[in-house]
Structure 1
Amino acid sequence: MNLRQIPLSACIGLAGITIFVFTAALAPLLAPYQPDAVVGSVWQAPDQSFLLGLDNLGRDMLSRMVYGARTTLVVALTATVAAFVMGVVLSFLAAVCGGVVDFVASRINDVLMSLPTLILALVILAVLPQSTLVLISVMAVLGASRVFRLGRAIAMDVTVMEYTEAARLRGEGPFWIVFREILPNTLAPLLAEFGLRFSFAVLFLSTLSFLGLGIQPPVADWGGMVKDNKDGIIFGISAALIPGGAIAILTICVNLVTDWGLNLTSSLKGGRGDV
């Protein structure tokens, strides 16, 4: 594809995502201090030594922002990938197998989706040991319920196509049909949904950290940084606005790229239909 065909909004989104990814990958090289090192007074104003100032404990905001990008991106991306693996595989198997498998999986998914996601996550995380693995697992299971709904809907359309029926007549098993017939023909909507789910994972993780049940201190993440510095807003300190702005910018960039992907998918489908 010619780069000139990519709209400006998508270019901005791609550039923003690239900056965030490189910042997270090169965190030890870019951060001037260790993220948990106290290097000055509380909420010290930005200067030549501390470009973004210091936080509520006297830690360098720039260093914590850089390391927080790594934590936020890795946890959100891992949870999103795990949610898609679970949701796509289970939904496609339910659509292919039908019967009892489809009924049981769909009813369990309906129960999960009927419960408020944030409240359910808070209850589970309050009971289970607080660790990054538990956090990712909870986010993945709750995200998989949304992926299951979309995956089953698009898989049901593909399972009635002639090539899928031909695979059944050849005696192919459910896993062969899922990975060789259904998945290649449903990648476009799934990739678009992946972008939306990733944006939601970033916001969801930040919300959990803000409420004290996400990433635990002293590990730096953007939601926790907003929580730590929120009291400074009363005194005109903007430390809480910096990680909040980063969360908003990352979400907007992902949505810009996702919108471009949706429009591109729609135009390709329209082009095929006109031929």
Structure 2
Amino acid sequence: MATIPIPLSPPGPLTALRERLAAFGPSGLLGLAVVLFWVLAALVGPALLARGGAEGGGDVFAPISAMHWLGTDYLGRDMLARVIEGARYTVGVAFIATLLASGTGITLALLAAASNRWIDGGLSRLLDTLTAIPSKMFALLMVAGFGSSVPMLVLTAAVIYVPGAYRMARALAVNINAMDYVTVARTRGEGTWYVMRREILPNIAGPMLADLGLRFVYAVLLLASLSFLGLGVQPPQADWGSLVRENIGALAEGGASVIAPALAIASLTIAVNLVIDNLPGRAARERGNR
């Protein structure tokens, strides 16, 4: 007598979440925890502080203590509060700039791959022109010409990293566009927008997610370097690069005020790279390519 298989119920949301987290591995989970910590610090950290980091009046360059976990800066302000407040600008500005850069680059790449060779050639040559300009030189020109404000920093970083995102997405999209199922979609009369959105985009989403993480790291380092030169976020606001610049002159006597924001930059960039290296499915794809 044949047995009738009993269909298994789909896993619950908590089970699915645990399975996704387990796919990251130990190092990936560590990176994910650090990234989430800094995201939460940027979103809700300043509101939870008992005393704002902009307030001074304490001992200048005080050492690490129970009252000041990361010491104080050159105006006697608590460095822990300053680092948490700086996360809003370092994480927020870099994240918005990265979304704009990757979103624009992917959209243009899909249009280039799904359209005729004239549009593809025109977009590629235009973005090659931007690639030929060194990123920091372009950022310095933009800041010198239009001033240093948060919207200008976001726009500058986004424009700098659009060509890289476009090149990566176009290389993937061109290969997908040559597949048989895309040809079938065009044969049955689907338009360019449908091919871009339903046939190409889902098949390049995984690699472009990893590329977005790398663009975010580049944006963090670019904005930190601009702030270290005094051309980034301006007082009274400060990002982590500004905090290093403000206190660099007292490295010998107030080292914690310099090391703390530098370690924050390093921890964020390393954590994002750990997450990228351990994205679910990446290890299986790498084994399949060998």
TM-score with structure 1 setting the length: 0.93
Is 1:246 paired with 2:264?
A: yes
Is 1:59 paired with 2:77?
A: yes
User: Alignment partner of 1:240: what SS?
Assistant: helix
Q: Which residue of 2 aligns with 1:24?
A: 42
Q: Which residue of 2 aligns with 1:203?
A: 221
Read off the aligned partner of 2:277 and give its amino acid letter: D
Answer yes or no: is the 8 Å Cα contact 1:39–1:60 preserved in 2. Answer: no
Distance in 1 between residues matched to 2:82 and 2:193, nearest whole Å: 44
Q: Which residue of 1 aligns with 2:63?
A: 45
Answer yes or no: is the 8 Å Cα contact 1:30–1:66 preserved in 2. Answer: no
How far the C-alpha of 1:179 sits from its partner, in A, is 0.9
Alignment of 1:131-146 (within 5 A): 131-146=149-164
- 2:101 aligns with one of 74, 79, 83: 83
Q: Percent identity?
A: 39
Answer yes or no: is the 8 Å Cα contact 1:23–1:30 preserved in 2. Answer: no
Read off the aligned partner of 2:231 and give its amino acid letter: L
Distance in 2 between residues matched to 1:25 and 1:253, nearest whole Å: 18
Read off the aligned partner of 1:110 and give its amino acid letter: D
Q: State how many pairs are aligned.
A: 272
Report the RMSD for the aligned CA atoms in angstroms. Answer: 1.9
Larger mean CA deviation between 55-64 and 150-159 belongs to: 55-64
Q: Which residue of 2 aligns with 1:167?
A: 185
Q: Which residue of 2 aligns with 1:92?
A: 110
Answer yes or no: is the 8 Å Cα contact 1:31–1:67 preserved in 2. Answer: no
How far the C-alpha of 1:3 sits from its partner, in A, is 4.4
Q: Which residue of 2 aligns with 1:267?
A: 284
User: Alignment partner of 2:75: what SS?
Assistant: coil
Q: Which residue of 2 aligns with 1:111?
A: 129
User: Alignment partner of 1:43: what SS?
Assistant: coil
Distance in 2 between residues matched to 1:26 and 1:228, nearest whole Å: 24
Answer yes or no: is the 8 Å Cα contact 2:110–2:200 preserved in 1. Answer: yes
Change in Cα spacing, 1:119 to 1:34, as seen in structure 2 (3 Å) is: same
Answer yes or no: is the 8 Å Cα contact 1:159–1:182 preserved in 2. Answer: yes
Answer yes or no: is the 8 Å Cα contact 1:87–1:148 preserved in 2. Answer: yes
How far the C-alpha of 1:120 sits from its partner, in A, is 1.2
Is 1:191 paired with 2:209?
A: yes
Distance in 1 between residues matched to 2:287 and 2:79, nearest whole Å: 48
Answer yes or no: is the 8 Å Cα contact 1:84–1:147 preserved in 2. Answer: yes
- 1:219 aligns with one of 214, 233, 237: 237
TM-score with structure 2 setting the length: 0.88
Q: Structure 1: 5+ residue runs without aligned partners?
A: none
User: Alignment partner of 1:193: what SS?
Assistant: helix
Larger mean CA deviation between 182-191 and 48-57 belongs to: 48-57
Is 1:74 paired with 2:92?
A: yes
Change in Cα spacing, 1:2 to 1:238, as seen in structure 2 (3 Å) is: closer
How far the C-alpha of 1:234 sits from its partner, in A, is 4.1
Distance in 1 between residues matched to 2:175 and 2:255, nearest whole Å: 54
Distance in 2 between residues matched to 1:55 and 1:154, nearest whole Å: 48
Distance in 1 between residues matched to 2:181 and 2:23, nearest whole Å: 33
Answer yes or no: is the 8 Å Cα contact 1:35–1:220 preserved in 2. Answer: no
Distance in 2 between residues matched to 1:164 and 1:5, nearest whole Å: 31
How far the C-alpha of 1:130 sits from its partner, in A, is 2.1
Distance in 2 between residues matched to 1:236 and 1:39, nearest whole Å: 16
Q: Structure 2: 5+ residue runs without aligned partners?
A: 1-18
User: Alignment partner of 1:218: what SS?
Assistant: coil
Q: Which residue of 1 aligns with 2:167?
A: 149
